[in-house]
Amino acid sequence: MSKLKHYETMFILKPTLTDEETVAQIENIKALIEKNGGEIASCLDMGSRELAYEIEKNKRGYYFVVYFKGNPAGIAEIERNYRINEQLIRFIFIKYENKKEIAVWTKMSDEAAKKAN
């Protein structure tokens, strides 16, 4: 088994979702990450904020970040699911590879965990 890599995914949900729908989407994405071999370290709920520019007629979006460890094959499947999810208006995956990057990932993940509690 290959060593798990450090990742961050940030996604933006449509602002038209109810609070319950937003929570359900976030939970579904976390479950998707875990189902595909990801180990979630922490999450950062950034809430609803204005977009830098309009996306699909949306001026706002609900931002959420997940710090996790996973394998590249799992990322491909998570990304495929993101693409077919009509409630997601944007997403990004960032991979942290060298020691310095992993140290940054750990720091951000720890800070996100502190904010969540």
| Residue 24, domain CATH | 3.30.70.60
What's the confidence (pLDDT) of residue 3?
A: 84
What residue numbers bound the domain in which 31 lies? 5-116
Q: How many domains does the chain have?
A: 1
What's the confidence (pLDDT) of residue 23?
A: 97
Give the 3-state secondary structure of the chain.
CCCCEEEEEEEEECCCCCHHHHHHHHHHHHHHHHHCCCEEEEEEEEEEEEEEEEECCEEEEEEEEEEEEECHHHHHHHHHHHHHCCCEEEEEEEEECCHHHHHHHHHHHHHHHHHHC
Task: Please say whether the beta carbons of 23 and 105 come within 8 A.
Answer: no
pLDDT 10s digits, 33-61 = 999 999 999 999 999 999 999 998 999 99
What's the confidence (pLDDT) of residue 64?
A: 98
Give me the tens of pLDDT residue by residue for the chain, a chain 117 residues long.
468 999 999 999 999 999 999 999 999 999 999 999 999 999 999 999 999 999 989 999 999 999 999 999 999 999 999 999 999 999 999 999 999 999 999 999 999 999 887
Measured in degrees and rounded to the nearest 5, phi and psi for residue 105 equal -55, -45
Q: What are the distances in angstroms from CA 81 to CA 28, 35, 42, 93, 110? A: 11, 12, 21, 13, 27
Structure tokens belonging to residue 16: 């038209």
What's the confidence (pLDDT) of residue 1?
A: 46
Write down the pTM of the prediction: 0.93
What's the confidence (pLDDT) of residue 5?
A: 95
